[in-house]
């Protein structure tokens, strides 16, 4: 649930609030006060309260820029809209999930240990990393292919 502050009057309707909230994530529903204000077009509060399903990839947006097209002279007006999150969950940037921090992520620790272990086995005495070539296999055949060409059919 988030509060969206400083919404322009022309955008304070169901469609406008939904468009603004869709920049944050997937809008699910509005609270009753915001919904009543959008329907009646009067009694505008200072913010819109919207439940939005956000993605755990990247930081949560705190500020948006809304462009209001001008009907008279063609110059657009830019308005900064501020977003306040009511209950901001912990966010893990490693596994891209909400519920725990990156510092306490179990997957991050195990992956880090595996990378260190794998890197040690591939580094030689001089400090060079050994790169191993993978062999490609044909589908349905257990023999590795050494070239990317097909054998020619002598009957053609």
User: pLDDT tens digit string along 86-101?
Assistant: 888 888 887 888 888 8
pLDDT at 44 over 70: no
If pLDDT is split at 50, 70 and 90, which confidence band does 112 have?
very low
Residue 54 banded pLDDT, cuts 50, 70, 90: confident
pLDDT-derived band at 116 (thresholds 50, 70, 90) equals: very low
66 and 100, same domain (yes or no): no
Please give the residue range of the domain that contains residue 67: 2-88
Residue 96 φ/ψ, nearest 5 degrees: 55, 50
Whether pLDDT at 80 is above 90: yes
Residue that the structure tokens 């009067």 belong to: 42
Taking the model in full, what pTM does it have?
Answer: 0.60
- 42 in the same domain as 68: yes
Do 73 and 19 fall into the same domain?
yes
Q: Is 41 in the same domain as 99?
A: no
Q: Clarify whether residues 102 and 77 are in a common domain.
A: no
Q: Is residue 42 part of a domain?
A: yes
Evaluate whether residue 127 is within a structural domain.
no
Q: Where residue 82 falls among pLDDT bands split at 50, 70, 90?
A: very high
């Amino acid at each position: 649930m988030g509060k969206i502050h400083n919404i322009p009057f022309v955008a304070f309707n169901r469609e406008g609030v939904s468009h603004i909230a869709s920049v944050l994530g997937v809008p699910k529903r509005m609270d009753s006060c915001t919904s009543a204000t959008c329907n009646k077009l009067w009694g505008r509060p200072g913010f819109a309260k919207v439940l939005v399903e956000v993605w755990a990839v990247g930081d949560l947006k705190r500020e948006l820029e809304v462009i209001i097209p001008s009907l008279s002279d063609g110059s657009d007006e830019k308005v900064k809209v501020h977003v306040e999150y009511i209950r901001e969950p912990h966010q893990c940037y490693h596994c891209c999930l909400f519920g725990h921090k990156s510092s306490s992520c179990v997957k991050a620790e195990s992956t880090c240990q595996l990378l260190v272990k794998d890197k040690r086995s591939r580094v030689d005495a001089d400090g060079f990393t050994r790169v191993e070539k993978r062999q490609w296999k044909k589908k349905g055949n257990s023999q590795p292919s050494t070239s990317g060409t097909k054998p020619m059919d002598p009957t053609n």
